[in-house]
Structure 1
Amino acid sequence: MATDSDEVIIVMPGGRARVSLVPLLRRCLDQPRQSWPDVVADWLAAVRRELPDQVSAELGPADVEQLRLRLIPAAATPEADNYLAMPFGTHFTAMVVVNRPERLDLLTLAQVAQLGGDPEGLVRIAVRQTVERELVSLDVRDHELPGGGSVRLLASDGNPFVTTALMSVKRFLPDGADNGALVAAPQYSAVMLHRVVGRVQDRAVALHRLANSMFAAATDPCTDQIFWWHGGEFHPVRVVAGESAGAVQVRMPEALAPVVERLDRGH
């Protein structure tokens, strides 16, 4: 563990991974003490799933065709000193990966040098190839959200790059999404968007429950956190158990308090 921060550093093939403990601490605060061992075990399993099994020692020109951009939760981000990665807002990181037939390899900075030493150029290639080869065939459908309203599901079975569509949320929203959208990415192969209209708290609870059920059942879990995408930024929305059975509390982003108040008034 880093002695002066809330992070752990994990030694792994090709370098180190720096993993934030903040999401774990927040999750523990939302759960009774007797549930903490299970919470920690689930967090450790999720972190392990994000670590690469291996990093290729060498790359050649042909491997450029396999470059993709993958959006992952910031808490699972490998140390930026070793890999070609960049923050996407506060809560996500965009990782350049090599899309092998049976696995994904993180692209190290040493490999960037092998490919000509142009990180920005490789990122542009990875973005273009992800859009053209991974995102054009997404299944986009609207489904009824429990309690009313609808949720737009972007999905592609076995596709680990669907979350990269979050870099272009507006493209997938229906017209009239002036208040943004509630967003969930429970799986790397599935993203959910709900256009915000009217009172947002009830819709947040419904989306949270749906996202958590998908996250728990997923073979490719991404995050059980939901966000409010507004003004081009992702703001966390926290849904926590209340004091009485079945009750929940919705903690909306402070930055969006004026928007919540306006929507509650029906404007």
Structure 2
Amino acid sequence: MNLFGRDREPSRRPVEDVDLDSLLALVAESLGYSFEFARDGGSVRLTSVTGSGTGAGEPLVVRLTGLRREAARRAREDWPMLVSEHLAHAVATVGDRLDVCDLEQAKPLMRTRVESVDEVSDLTRVVGRHLNADLVELLTVGTRAVRPEEAGCWPVPPARALDLAVANVRRDERLLVERIELSGTPVTRLTAATPAAATHLRWLGSYLPVPADGALVVLPDPYTLLLHPVDGIGVVRAIERLRVHAAQTDGLSSQVYWWHRGALTLIKADIVLQSGHARLVVAPPPEFAEVLARLAV
């Protein structure tokens, strides 16, 4: 093992860092690289032992600050996967000019993307926050989601990085606003050029009048929002129309949500077949049920 400063006094680094270094060394060797760790443990320099193939030529410097932070949060049995993914990604992207671990490089490219929770294979391997129990807003750089060990390199916490990405989304574009009908029920369609339409819910009032009781929302795909104001008992029919439309699109979510006071709440609505006929069974959350009761008077 070739370590910077190996002739110094015995290391007083935490045993966890030493153990992680040993795992990094094993993975580096399995990938065909020799290695040198920086004195502060913040990076490792990989050099191809064959002198050919991926990574040949100039040594590859891999940042480790974010990896160490992520490892500290995870059980030790997760470390082999974390290290293997980190070094394999570094090798695979050796020709890329973008270093996601460099905040100044990454910041202009930060965006958000909304995904169904069920479609994200491992929520611990991405940076994001829940819009609700069904949907998550992911932090992206370019076209891919940011990994925790990459965000761990930055001098800002992940929540602040997400705020920077949201600000970029707002600067990028203004959504297209259209008035359409779903089986006679008027709704507003907002369309984005990027898969971040739901991010614009934060600024919904700049697109259409939003009553005090909020608006119904469906997300048929990451580029589209369909909305109906909660401003009268006609909202009951709107829930049915929106739910049926969302189910037919088979996109981001088949559910109807209530956007109110900055929160996106599920309005559980199931399509039930009885005697060959489909009907909608709605189980609204208590606060929305109170709104419906008031509007029905």
Q: Same fold (TM over 0.5)?
A: yes
Deviation string 1:3-62 (CA, Å, 9 cap, x unpaired) is: xxxxxxxx99949xxxxxxxxxxxxxxxxxxxxxxxxxxxxxxxxxxxxxxx96852442
Give the greater-gyration-radius structure (CA): 2
Give the drift of 1:222.
1.2
Which of 267, 282, 285 is 1:251 aligned to? 282
Q: Which amino acid aligns with 1:108?
A: R
Q: Which runs of 5+ in 2 are unaligned?
A: 1-80, 87-91
Q: Which amino acid aligns with 2:178?
A: R
Change (3 A) 1:87 1:254: closer
Number of the residue aligned with 1:143 = 180
Deviation string 1:81-107 (CA, Å, 9 cap, x unpaired) is: 3322222333322211112xxxx2111
Change (3 A) 1:178 1:114: closer
Q: Which amino acid aligns with 2:180?
A: H
Of structures 1 and 2, the one with the larger relative CO (CA 8 A, separation 6+) is 1
Q: Distance in 1 between matches of 2:242 and 2:129?
A: 28
Which of 51, 62, 67 is 2:110 aligned to? 67
Report 1:138-177 matches (<5 A): 138-148=175-185, 150-157=186-193, 159-175=194-210, 177=211
SS of the equivalent of 1:224 reads coil
Q: Distance in 1 between matches of 2:153 and 2:273?
A: 54
Give the drift of 1:130.
1.1
Are 2:160 and 1:130 aligned?
Answer: no
Q: Distance in 1 between matches of 2:146 and 2:244?
A: 35
Report 1:192-211 matches (<5 A): 192-196=226-230, 197-211=232-246
SS of the equivalent of 1:235 reads strand
CA contact (8 A) 2:228 2:235 kept: no
Taking only the aligned residue pairs, the percentage that are identical comes to 21
Q: Which amino acid aligns with 1:155?
A: T
Give the drift of 1:70.
2.0
Number of the residue aligned with 2:219 = 185
Give the drift of 1:206.
1.2
Change (3 A) 1:167 1:71: farther
CA contact (8 A) 1:142 1:151 kept: yes
Alignment length (residue pairs): 202
Quote the RMSD (CA, aligned, Å).
2.9
Are 2:137 and 1:81 aligned?
Answer: no
Change (3 A) 1:242 1:228: farther
Change (3 A) 1:228 1:125: closer
Deviation string 1:239-259 (CA, Å, 9 cap, x unpaired) is: 312313333123131412222
Change (3 A) 1:250 1:131: same
CA contact (8 A) 1:205 1:250 kept: no
Q: Which runs of 5+ in 1 are unaligned?
A: 1-10, 16-54
Change (3 A) 1:246 1:106: same
Q: What TM-score, normalized to structure 2?
A: 0.59
